[in-house]
Amino acid sequence: MTSRPLIIAPSVLAADLGRIDEEAERIKKSGAEWVHIDVMDGHFVPNISFGTNMVRTLRKVMGDVTLDVHLMIEQPDRYARDFVEAGADCLSVHLEARHTVSRTLDLIREMGCRAGLAINPPTLFKHAVPLLPKIQQLLLMTVNPGFGGQAFLSEVLPKIREAREVILRQNYDVDITVDGGIGEDTVRPCVSAGANILVAGTALFRQPDLTQAVANLRKSAQSATVSG
């Protein structure tokens, strides 16, 4: 368990995009702290979702809710500025994408945005270590990126623990995000291992009462016990 505040970030990928205004209202009233926006380009991942328009729309309707934008795209350095100008508060880019990662992270921070580094399940944590001084959040994918509704990969848990240990030991000001297959059952081991930003799509939006779903997820996260 971590001493950092728990943050719940519903992923709009799982919302009803045909009724985005109503869905935004539902998220706003749900008690969730953040909103997670998955941008997919059909190259870095085999799926296409949405771009800056979605961020701009949500910025307009969500008030001051933090917009957490997850770029699953190649060459994120080319598009970072557009997403910040559209209203992103946090921008996470992948270590595995085609760009000079440290330079992209600098660019994001220079624009006054929170910088996040995302890594896929097979990528070892040691590759992220040199970049920890440049980021505010480390996003550990708990599914292979590209689609919502996939099963949580429990083999990522040791990586969460390892990241938590190094971040604590080195005293970095970095949140740990888990993304993919997060629900009431899977959130507990993630929080025990050290995650504090919890992204959830399907598990929240498939429930008719989003406020209740967020409350239940939070209760489950809070019941997590400290692990080794």
Write out the binding residues for ligand DX5, residues 117-156 only, by CB under 6 A: 143, 145-150
- Residue 82 is among the residues annotated as catalytic for this protein: no
3 state SS for the chain = CCCCCCEEEEEHHHCCHHHHHHHHHHHHHCCCCEEEEEEEECCCCCCECCCHHHHHHHHHHCCCCEEEEEEECCCHHHHHHHHHHHCCCEEEEECCCCCCHHHHHHHHHHCCCEEEEEECCCCCHHHCHHHHHHCCEEEEECCCCCCCCCCCCHHHHHHHHHHHHHHHHCCCCCEEEEECCCCCCCHHHHHHHCCCEEEECHHHHCCCCHHHHHHHHHHHHHCCCCCC
Write out the binding residues for ligand DX5, residues 25-54 only, by CB under 6 A: 36, 38
**Residue 14 site contact among Zn ion, ligand DX5, none (CB < 5 to 8 Å, cut-off depends on kind):** ligand DX5
Catalytic residue, candidates 38, 41, 77, 89? 38
Nearer to Zn ion, 24 or 71 (CB): 71
Shortest CB 218 distance to ligand DX5, Å:
15
Shortest CB 14 distance to ligand DX5, Å:
5
**Residue 50 site contact among Zn ion, ligand DX5, none (CB < 5 to 8 Å, cut-off depends on kind):** none
Shortest CB 217 distance to Zn ion, Å:
16
Catalytic residue, candidates 173, 179, 185, 209? 179
Q: Which listed residue (101, 182, 187, 190) binds ligand DX5 by CB under 6 A?
A: 182
- Residue 21 is among the residues annotated as catalytic for this protein: no
Q: Which residues are catalytic?
A: 38, 179
